[in-house]
Amino acid sequence: MSWIELRKIKKSYSGSPAVRELNLKIEDRQFVTLLGPSGCGKTTTLRVIAGLEEPDSGEIIVDGKILFSREKGIFVPPEKRKLGLIFQSYALWPHMTVRKNISLALEEMHLAREKIDGIIKEVLEKVQLTEYIDRYPSELSGGQQQRVAVARMIAAEPSIFLMDEPLSNLDAMLRVDMRTELKRLHHELGATTVYVTHDQVEALTLSDRIAVMEKGILKQVGTPEEIYKKPADLFVARFVGSPRINSIEGKLVSESGNYFFKKGDIKRKINKKVESIILDLKVNSLIATIRPEDIDVSQREREGWTKADVYSVLPAGSETILSVKKDEIDLSVKVNGFTDIRMNDTVWIYIDPFKMNYYDPRSGKLILDVGLQRK
Ligand SMILES: Nc1ncnc2c1ncn2[C@@H]1O[C@H](COP(=O)(O)OP(=O)(O)OP(=O)(O)O)[C@@H](O)[C@H]1O
Ligand SMILES: [Mg+2]
């Protein structure tokens, strides 16, 4: 069993905060990803868990054991934390063969030679590199080197895996293959994993839960589906998803006892059940968001649909992204496969009201989510 709890972790570098009061619980066997833009504090958080950085305050608890506490004066050094680490650079020893690179970590554990050879064979089979055992890193591709790094990490049987952007040096195709391998490996080994990436697709595809960070602050923790469908604020909404989520700033208007979100022709009734939440906020405008795949498009006029102009058409094989303009609003619309819609065409769009989320324009926080609106 291995669960990790970070309590009120703070870390600054020469007065500027890298991580601000981070609270995060990582359950046993879960694959949790720290996701966010460059400089948001992901690596710092991972290094703090590993014991490579000492936080300014807070506590780190693993399986109920305190590994760090500023208050209690506890700091367990990295080598005693039983963690497996992989960083962006593969960090294999260039002058050693694959066998020796893996063996080194095991020799430090004073295992018998036979046992070590057995483990090396086993982990290389797992990453499908058995026949490369006597090669040097320079004789391997980037993806193979990264798989050796994975083999070396799992050889020592750490109870927790920490990985910092392990796939970012690989080309796009290999990155996708390695995602599959990592997911499979996590399924087989079930080790609690903290994974760092700025790639939202990688986070969505690999994780049990995603922790989104911005400027040292944890913005939201949730399953990939929660993060995608109910982003807690506009930052998370815009950071996750490609193409970027559409946002429409509109007015909150009242007409004959009902409240509506209104922007030009786009008018949506606000559900009675959440009216009071919105009225309590005392806002007169709202920001509505809608994912590009939740807008339907038609080349014929349809009742209740909104007329728009096609600004650009970007086919990408499995999907086509249309950029459409309605008054001064630019919207991205995703359609399956190819389309015969062309630039400058007139189309009619339908924005699914049940897929819209509403945000407070001042704080950027989610007011009304899909679940609430459906009730
Ligand atoms: N050793 C250090 N000395 C001074 N400042 C640092 C140090 N390490 C990190 N920082 C600063 O702390 C902040 C967070 O850095 P961190 O490396 O955790 O970001 P990150 O989210 O991993 O970004 P990236 O995606 O670029 O790797 C940044 O502003 C960075 O400049
Ligand atoms: Mg980093």
**Of the candidates 353, 305, 302, which has an alpha carbon nearest to the alpha carbon of residue 326?**
305
Answer yes or no: is the C-beta of 42 below 6 A from any ligand 1 atom.
yes
What is the C-alpha separation between 40 and 33, in angstroms, rounded? 14
In terms of Cα–Cα distance, which of 176, 158, 17, 18 is closest to 86?
158
**What are the Cα distances from residue 310, in Å, to 289, 294, 300?**
20, 17, 14
Tens of pLDDT, residue by residue, the chain (375 residues) = 799 999 999 999 999 999 999 999 999 999 999 999 999 999 999 999 999 999 999 999 999 999 999 999 999 999 899 898 888 766 789 999 999 999 998 998 888 999 999 999 999 998 889 999 999 999 998 888 988 998 998 898 888 999 999 888 778 888 888 889 899 989 988 999 999 999 999 999 999 999 999 999 999 999 999 999 999 999 999 999 999 999 999 999 988 888 899 998 888 888 877 788 888 888 899 999 999 999 999 999 999 899 999 999 999 999 999 999 998 899 999 999 999 999 999 999 999 888 999 999 999 999 866 555 554
3-state secondary structure of 300: coil
Per-residue confidence (pLDDT) for residue 375, from 0 to 100? 47
> Which domains are present in the chain?
4-239 (3.40.50.300), 246-374 (2.40.50.140)
**Ligand positioned closest to the Cα atom of 19:** 1
Whether the CB of 18 sits within 6 Å of ligand 1? yes
Q: Characterize the bridge pairing of strands 74-75 and 65-69.
A: antiparallel
Task: Give the ligand whose atoms come closest to the C-alpha of residue 217.
Answer: 1
Residue to mutate, 34, 35, 40, ligand 1, most ligand atoms under 8 Å from C-beta: 40
Of 128, 130, 122, the C-alpha closest to 156 is 122
Q: How far apart are the CA of 55 and the centre of ligand 1, in A?
A: 14
- Give the integer Cα–Cα distance in Å for 361 and 214: 18
Ligand 1 site-directed mutation target among 43, 164, 197, most atoms within 8 Å of CB = 43
For residue 44 and ligand 1, the question of a CB distance below 6 A is answered with yes
Ligand nearest to the CA of 34: 1
Q: Please report where in the chains the tokens 């290389």 appear, as a residue.
A: 124
Phi and psi angles of residue 105, each rounded to the nearest 5 degrees, phi first: -65, -35
For residue 42, the ligand closest to its alpha carbon is: 1
Helix and strand totals (H; E) in the chain: 10, 22
CB 296 within 8 A of CB 335: no
Helix (H) or strand (E) holding 254: strand 246-255
Question: Would the CB of 289 count as within 6 Å of ligand 1?
Answer: no
Cβ atoms of 8 and 71 within 8 Å: the answer is: no
Residue in this structure with the two tokens 């997911």, named with its chain if needed: 183
- Is the preceding omega at residue 243 within 30 degrees of 0, hence cis? yes
Greatest alpha-carbon span in the chain:
83
Rg of the Cα atoms in the chain: 25
Ligand 1 pocket test: which of 35, 42, 214 has the largest number of ligand atoms within 8 Å of its C-beta?
42
Cα–Cα distance, 151 to 140 (Å, whole number): 14
CA–CA gap between residue 210 and residue 231 (Å, rounded): 11
Would you give the DSSP letter of residue 233?
A: B
pTM surpassing 0.95? no
Q: How far is the CA of 165 from the centre of ligand 1 (A)?
A: 14
197 lines ligand 1 (CB under 6 A): no
CA of 124 to the centre of ligand 2 (A): 28
Q: What spacing in Å lies between the alpha carbon of 216 and ligand 1's midpoint?
A: 10
